[in-house]
């Protein structure tokens, strides 16, 4: 019965990928799955885009594996390092590596993700959570994403 919604959003907070995972699992293991599902269609001809310019994430996504994956794909990671990881790195001395650098001003734009989750939680179809199957719960989350996109398309001239 415990499930967690994972999603990737664009700079305006509109969901691009919506997945549901086990509620007791962490966020970081779902990150590669989310990135594999990312496909953004282009205007005109061409393959869908699957590599964003940057990824803004909270401290839960600060792992060496995620940073390496993003670096290999040429994606800028805007993810702060948790204090416990800083302590481990400093304790290792010169073998611990360099401190993580990220653009603090760019990180302030991450609140768009949190506002999106808060807006999803207020939607009655997800807030009541009467669904027993994760598949139907994901269907509700996808329906919410569709309504957000339609609302955004209706707002623009």
C-alpha dist (Å) from residue 58 to 23, 113, 126: 18, 10, 23
Domain count, the chain: 1
Q: Whole-prediction pTM value?
A: 0.79
Cβ atoms of residues 48 and 77 within 8 Å: no
Each residue of 63-108: pLDDT tens digit? 889 999 999 999 999 998 888 888 888 888 887 777 788 888 888 8
Pairing of strands 76-78, 54-56: parallel
Confidence of residue 1 (pLDDT cuts 50, 70, 90): low
pLDDT of residue 71: 92
């Amino acid at each position: 019965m415990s499930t967690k919604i994972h999603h990737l959003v664009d700079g305006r907070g509109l969901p691009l990928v919506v997945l549901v995972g086990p509620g007791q699992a962490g966020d970081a293991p779902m990150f590669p799955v989310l990135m594999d599902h990312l496909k953004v269609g282009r205007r005109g001809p061409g393959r869908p885009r699957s590599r964003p310019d940057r990824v803004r994430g909270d401290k839960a996504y600060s792992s060496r594996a995620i940073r390496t994956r993003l670096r290999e794909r040429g994606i800028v990671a805007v993810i702060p390092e948790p204090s416990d990881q800083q302590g481990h790195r400093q304790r290792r001395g010169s073998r611990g590596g360099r401190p993580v650098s990220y653009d603090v001003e760019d990180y302030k734009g991450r609140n768009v993700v949190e506002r999106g989750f808060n807006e999803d939680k207020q939607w009655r179809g997800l807030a009541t959570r009467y669904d027993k199957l994760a598949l139907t719960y994901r269907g509700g989350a996808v329906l919410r994403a569709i309504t957000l996109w339609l609302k955004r398309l209706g707002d623009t001239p």
